[in-house]
Amino acid sequence: MEAESVWLGLSRPTVLKLAKSVSAITFVVWAVMVINRMFLGGNGMYELLRPEGGLMAAAILVLTILTVVMWSIYLSDFKGTIEIEQDGVFDKVSLVLSRLAMLSVIAIEVVMLYEVISRYVFNAPTLWANELSLWIASVLFLLAGVYAMQQRSHIRIYIIYDMFPRWAKKTADTVSVLLIMIFTFCLVWGGYNEALLKFSRMEKYGTAWNPPIPATVKPLILILIILVTFQAISNLIADWNKDDSHSPEDEIDQTEIENIRKTLES
Amino acid sequence: MFDVGTISLILLISMFVLLAIGMPLGFASAFLAVMTLVMKFGPDLLFSNFGRGPLAVLGQAVYRQMTNYVLISVPLFIFMAALLERSGIARDMYSSLNVWLNRTRGGIAIVTSVMAVIMAAMSGIIGGEVVLLGLIALPQMLRLGYNQNLAIGTICASGSLGTMIPPSIVLIMYGLVTETSIKALFTASFLPGFMLATFFIIYIIVTTQLDPSKAPLPETDPNDPKGLDKALMFLGFLGRFGMWITGTLLVRVLFFTVTGQNTVTEGVDPIPLGMASDIMPIVVAFVICGVAAFGIAGRARTAKGWEMGKGLIAPTVVIGVVLGSIYGGITGITEAAGMGVIAVFVIGLIRREMTFEIVWDSVMRTLKSTGTIIWVTIGAAALAAAYTLVGGPNYVANLIVGTELPTMGVILIMMLIFLVMGMFMDWIGIVLLVMPVFLPIVLKLPVAELGWFGSLDPKYVGVWFGVVFCMNMQVSFLSPPFGPAAFYLKSVAPDHISLTDIFRGFFPFIGLQLLALGVLLAWPPIITIFLV
């Protein structure tokens, strides 16, 4: 498991230790809440987002977020086999965010499993599972966008582009990034007030559990699209002197095929 | 500032230009959304006030997509397919299917098609399927001396069925864009999907019967059971498998009865196969299966048949979980996808194949594909919102309807546009960008004139068009010069098979796909047979 470090270097063990200890604390606090809930009728998921949850709820929220972030930092130090080399100035941020998104895919699975079991086996549907998965998913989609930008995995049409000489390609790339910047600028221009308003009012989703989805997701859209724009600029700089020729065969993931082959032979 | 017609024309031209200079599709559409608003309202109105104004529709459009519950099913289906690829389920399924059909002419090609249908019913994306079939079946067919074009065409055409047979990611995105019921789309696409698969199989049988040299039979294995014996073994396998299924259903219904979840209540839908009145039929089915397995086939044959056929069990369980969740009225599409992931994961655990590495790798792959799709979704959502705000779709619809072209003429032109776009563009771009313009036109056309036989219920026109679109996209997976199936197969085929060879093998199958499309167009009610 001692894979090459992407960016943490010698501090990787420290980060791992930190991640583990934060998880341990979070786990204990969660356990206390669950026991409280089961035997003493204390706070549940409903109170978690409400002032009446008190210190305990706040601690849980902060600790959970901290745990996930710590693990994301740790995991971003390992390069996935399907990932391209990171060399842009902004790539580290995107990689940490991508690990956060990857953990959230698993989190959605866990939440859904919990809901299905409690609804169909124990006949006790939860109030919060659907909204929680929606909340996590909306963040996941935005983070996936940043990741796709960092990995340059966009749907593009290369037929004409590849006929361009090198300087024209560079011009075209610059124009693309400029147009992305214009879009981001206009998106922020039009959405700033609404996002700020919803955030300052902590606007809720209007359901039973009532998570503050509009209050968090609306500002996040603006923030993450700004990050994507940074990533686009960083890509432009990093790829400036790279030779790029494309063929539809690039879309094929050789690692994936190698993995499938191995599975079939075992 | 400008009128709708000018804006539409400028948008169309700018889209071509931006795509030509290699701008990612999602960002090109996002930028064009801004341009649309500028052309409509003029910069003065847009930028007079920081933080408000018509530009707000962009953020709102993006927000609507981000908080769409059904969209969650997309990453989950991708995740499931990624896990499925790395488990040995497909390999075992192939050997189990092959056992029953290895004495039939063209058997491996038929097995490939059948296996593709089963895999299509498990997952909703293509790519992995073509690779899997290419790795498993292609070497076998080439070794036996099958006609190369037949082998290639069978693998790629069948491997593309993933999006035609539910669950299908193409239909999910279509349902999201057009606000059509995804469940109805799935039900409607069942029959056309199977029809297409049947066309493939009939084609294989007919060509191999006409020219047996295209599909030589393997050497006879003296240990291989023959004729009646094999049929009885298969019966025994079916019986034993049926006992497991009915047994599980029996336990389930008894559980519901004991816990009182299935009491008949007014206004609450009955649980499918879960009411107290269902106990008797289930018991009868259980007994029939038992008689078939142990009475007719006999214990020894059943045991042997079970050994030969058990590779079919895991796929059946996965299909049961995914489609059962959707059609059993248990959960929505999103939960069905979630449960599908769990089912594949648990089966992988039981088979001792799942490792942390495989899961992590699959999540990474999921995220990458999701990110790609999400950008197109965001960009197209913004563009569609801006274009609708300026009245674009309505304008185009009236323009087309006003030309007094015959109804089927309009539809055929659309088919041509889909097919040509499919040669150069991913399906996701087409569904997100073109559908918001095309569907309103189709909905405005007189329903009675759609198709040449039978008439379609007006409320299913959207569903019908979705299935038609899906069939078009089947062609786009194979059509040169960029048919993705060809490139997937090329990456696993022996070196002497060139890309040209591969595309050459596709032609009869593209013909079959167009034939199926023709049936759909000529006889629209085909989709409503299972829709009630």
Looking at the predicted structure, is the pLDDT value of residue B516 above 70? yes
Residues in chain B: 532
How far is Cα A257 from Cα B201, in angstroms, rounded to an integer? 27
Query: What is the percent of chain B with per-residue pLDDT over 70, rounded to a whole number?
Result: 96
Q: Which residues of A touch B27 (CB under 8 A)?
A: 154, 176, 179-180, 183
Give Rg (Cα) of chain A.
Answer: 22
Mean pLDDT of chain B: 86
Q: Which residues of A touch B136 (CB under 8 A)?
A: 264
Q: Which residues of B touch A161 (CB under 8 A)?
A: 20-22
Taking CA–CA distances from A196, the nearest residue in chain B reads B51
pLDDT at position B521, please? 92
pLDDT, tens digit, for every residue of B278-289?
Answer: 788 888 988 888
Nearest-5° Cα angle at B426, B58 to A105: 65
Asked whether A139 and B71 are in contact (CB, 8 A), the reply is: no
Looking at the predicted structure, is the pLDDT value of residue B201 above 90? yes
Asked whether B156 and B496 are in contact (CB, 8 A), the reply is: no
pLDDT, tens digit, for every residue of A106-165?
Answer: 999 999 888 888 877 777 778 788 888 888 999 999 888 888 888 888 888 787 888 888
Distance of CA B218 to the CA centre of its chain: 33
Q: Which residues of B touch A250 (CB under 8 A)?
A: none
Of the segments B125-134, B298-307, B505-514, which one has the largest average pLDDT value?
A: B505-514
Is the CB of A252 less than 8 angstroms away from the CB of B491? Answer: yes
Is the CB of A172 less than 8 angstroms away from the CB of B71? Answer: no
Is the CB of B25 less than 8 angstroms away from the CB of A154? Answer: yes
Can you tell me the mean pLDDT for A236-262? 75
Looking at the predicted structure, is the pLDDT value of residue A62 above 90? no
DSSP string, B409-449: HHHHHHHHHHHHHHHHS-HHHHHHHTHHHHHHHHHHS-GGG
User: Residue A250 — pLDDT band, cuts 50, 70, 90?
Assistant: low
CB contact residues (below 8 A), chain B span 160-219, against chain A:
none
Of the segments B134-148, B218-232, B318-332, B444-458, which one has the largest average pLDDT value?
A: B134-148
Q: Which amino acid, residue A263?
A: T
How far is Cα B474 from Cα B484, in angstroms, rounded to an integer? 11
pLDDT, tens digit, for every residue of B360-387?
Answer: 888 888 888 888 888 888 888 888 888 8
Is the CB of B34 less than 8 angstroms away from the CB of A153? Answer: no
Mean pLDDT of chain A: 82
Q: What is the dihedral angle through the alpha carbons of B376, B379, B383, B385, rounded to the nearest 10 degrees?
A: 100
How far is Cα B256 from Cα B254, in angstroms, rounded to an integer? 5
User: Residue A244 — pLDDT band, cuts 50, 70, 90?
Assistant: low
Torsions phi, psi of A79, nearest 5? -85, 130
Taking CA–CA distances from A222, the nearest residue in chain B reads B59
Is the CB of A195 less than 8 angstroms away from the CB of B59? Answer: yes
Q: Say whether residue B431 is in contact with chain A using an 8 A CB cutoff.
A: no
Looking at the predicted structure, is the pLDDT value of residue B425 above 50? yes
How far is Cα B17 from Cα B2, in angstroms, rounded to an integer? 20
Query: Which of B50, B368, B487 is the closest to A252 by Cβ?
Result: B487
Which of A154, A178, A198, A200 best probes binding to B when mutated, by most B CB atoms within 10 angstroms?
A154
pLDDT at position A1, please? 46
Q: Which residues of A touch B339 (CB under 8 A)?
A: 112-113, 116
Please give the structure tokens belonging to residue A204: 């809720």
Query: Which of B34, B87, B366 is the closest to A186 by Cβ?
Result: B34
Q: Which residues of B touch A221 (CB under 8 A)?
A: 59, 62-63, 66
Is the CB of B58 less than 8 angstroms away from the CB of A190? Answer: yes
Q: What is the model's pTM?
A: 0.89
Asked whether B121 and B165 are in contact (CB, 8 A), the reply is: yes
How far is Cα A17 from Cα B6, in angstroms, rounded to an integer? 62
**CB pairs below 8 Å between A and B: how many?**
259
Query: What is the percent of chain A with per-residue pLDDT over 90, rounded to a whole number?
Result: 3
| Interface confidence (ipTM) of the complex | 0.89
Residues in chain A: 266
Q: Which residues of B touch A83 (CB under 8 A)?
A: 364
Q: Say whether residue B59 is in contact with chain A using an 8 A CB cutoff.
A: yes
Better-scored residue on pLDDT, B521 or B259: B521
Burial of B488 (0-12, 13-18, 19+ CB in 10 A): buried
Asked whether B335 and A116 are in contact (CB, 8 A), the reply is: yes
Looking at the predicted structure, is the pLDDT value of residue B24 above 50? yes
How far is Cα B40 from Cα B10, in angstroms, rounded to an integer? 12
CB contact residues (below 8 A), chain B span 89-128, against chain A:
90-91, 128
How far is Cα B457 from Cα B274, in angstroms, rounded to an integer? 32
Can you tell me the mean pLDDT for B487-502? 88
Taking CA–CA distances from A183, the nearest residue in chain B reads B31
The answer for residues whose C-beta is within 8 angstroms of residue B456's C-beta and 6 or more apart is: B447, B450, B464, B524, B525, B528
